[in-house]
Amino acid sequence: MTSGILLTLFSLILLFALALLANALSDDPGYVLLVWQHWQVQSSVGFSLLMILLLAVVFLLLFFIIRAILFGSSYYYQKRKALTRRKTLMSLDESIRHRLVGNIPASFMSMEESLTKNSLNLRPFNKKKGSALHLLQADVARLAGFYPSALEHLNHIDSDDHELATLLRAKIALDAGELLQAQGFLDFLLSYPDRGFIEPVRESLQPAFDQHVGLVWSQLAVLQPWQMLSNSLFPHTQSIDWSGWLKSLTLAQQPDDVLERVGRLLQLMPQADQDQQVCLLFGLLHRVGANQAAFELAQRTLADRLEIDLLDQWMSLALTLPEDQATDAINTLLTSLEQRYPAQPDVVLAQARFARHQAQKQGLDEVSLLAIQARLEPYQSYALIQHYQLIWLIEENKPLDDVTRSTLLKRLQANDEQQFICDNIVH
C-alpha cells in the first residue's frame, strides 16, 4: 500500500511538471490548449491542475474501494496472511540450519539479521512481528547466552503470552546464576491456581506447561537443594526430578534444621516415588542421621521386593545399630528373603555378613570362619562376595607385608580384577 501511494504522488508531480512545460510552450501564457482530432479545449493552468488533482483523488478512492471489496474477503485475507508467514519462515532458513548443528550464537544473529532485512522489514523489536516470534528469539538468545537481548525481546510480547514470558525469564535468570530471581519467577508461576483467573495460552498448553515449570524448578532445586524445602509452593510431584534433587540433597551442606526439612521432604514425596528412589532416599536419611527412618524404609521395601543395592546398604546400617533394636528385625527379614529368593547370592552374602557379625561378638574362631567360607564357596565368582572377602581378609590382620596390603586396598574397588585377587591372594 505504501508503494501505491508513492507512485500516485510521483504521477501527480510528473503531471504538474508537464503542465508547467505546456504553459511555457503555449502561445497564450497562462492557458493550456489541448487538441485531440477535431476537438480543442483551452483552459487556464490553474483549472487544469485542479482537474488533475480531482482525477487523482477519484482514482485513489476507486482504488481503495475496489481493494476493500475484492481483498477484504476472508479468502484473500487468509491468502495474504499465509504469504506473510511464508516470507517470514523463509527468512529464518539460515537461522534454523545453524540451530540444527548447535551453533546457537550464529542462529540468533542470523535470525535478527534476516528478520530485519526481509521484505516485511521486521525490525528486531518491532511489534509487527507477533508475540510468538519474540518468544522464539528470546529463547534462542538465552541459549546463546545473550541475556540482555533475550530480556529486550520479552518486553515486546503480548499480554496473552505473559505466563510464557515469565517462564522464559525464570530460565534466563537460572542460566545467568540469579537463583533468587529465578525462584521469584517460579513462585509466581506456581501461584497460578491461587490467582483466581484463567490464562488462555497457558491453559491451551497444559499439561506440558506445568511439566516444564516443574523441570525448571527441579534444575533450581539441584543448585540449592535444601533451600527449596523451606518454600511454601511446589510444582506437581509428577514433574519433579526426584533423582537429581535427592542426589544434591545428599551432597549439599546440611542446614541446622535438617531433620525437620527431611520430614517435610517425606511428606511431599509420594509413596510411589519413594519406592522408585528408595536407594537414594535411604542414603540421604542415613547421611542426615535419621537411621531409624532409613532402617524402616529399607525394611518395608525389602519385605515387598528384593533391591540388591538397598539390601547391601541396609545390612551395613543394621550392623551398626544397637543389638536390641536390630537383631530380631534382621533375623525376620533375612529368613523371609531366604524363603522367597533361595540361593540368591546377595541374600546369601547378607546372611554371611550377619553370621560373621554375630560371631565377632564372641570372638572369631577358625570354625566360624570356615563355616562362613563354606557357605559362600558356591558363589566365589560373584563380584560383591569377592569384595567382602577381600575386606574380611584385611580385617583379620593376616600376616601381610605393607606392599601386599597396599595392593589389596587399591584393588578393592577394581571390579575387573576381583577374580585375580581371589585366585592369587585370598587362597
Please compute the mean of the pLDDT values over residues 82-108 and round it to a whole number: 73
Identify the residue with better confidence: 368 or 238. 238
Identify the residue with better confidence: 127 or 391. 391
321-340 confidence digits (pLDDT tens): 777 667 788 888 888 888 88
Question: Is pLDDT at 110 greater than 50 in this prediction?
Answer: yes
Average pLDDT, the chain: 78
Q: Which pLDDT band holds residue 72 (cuts at 50, 70, 90)?
A: low
Q: How far is CA 327 from CA 307, 321, 330, in A?
A: 20, 9, 5
Identify the residue with better confidence: 30 or 155. 155
pLDDT of 185? 95
Least confident of 142-146, 207-211, 278-282, 401-405: 401-405
pLDDT of 292? 85
pLDDT of 242? 95
Q: Which pLDDT band holds residue 22 (cuts at 50, 70, 90)?
A: low
pLDDT of 178? 94
Q: Which pLDDT band holds residue 170 (cuts at 50, 70, 90)?
A: very high
Highest mean pLDDT among 12-16, 56-60, 102-106, 420-424: 102-106
Least confident of 130-144, 210-224, 364-378: 364-378
Question: Is pLDDT at 424 greater than 60 in this prediction?
Answer: no
Q: Which pLDDT band holds residue 261 (cuts at 50, 70, 90)?
A: very high
Question: Is pLDDT at 186 greater than 90 in this prediction?
Answer: yes
206-246 confidence digits (pLDDT tens): 889 999 999 999 999 999 999 999 888 899 999 999 999 99
Q: Which pLDDT band holds residue 181 (cuts at 50, 70, 90)?
A: very high
pLDDT of 421? 34
Q: Which pLDDT band holds residue 422 (cuts at 50, 70, 90)?
A: very low
Question: Is pLDDT at 69 greater than 50 in this prediction?
Answer: yes
pLDDT of 385? 77
pLDDT of 104? 81
Please compute the mean of the pLDDT values over residues 34-61 and round it to a whole number: 68
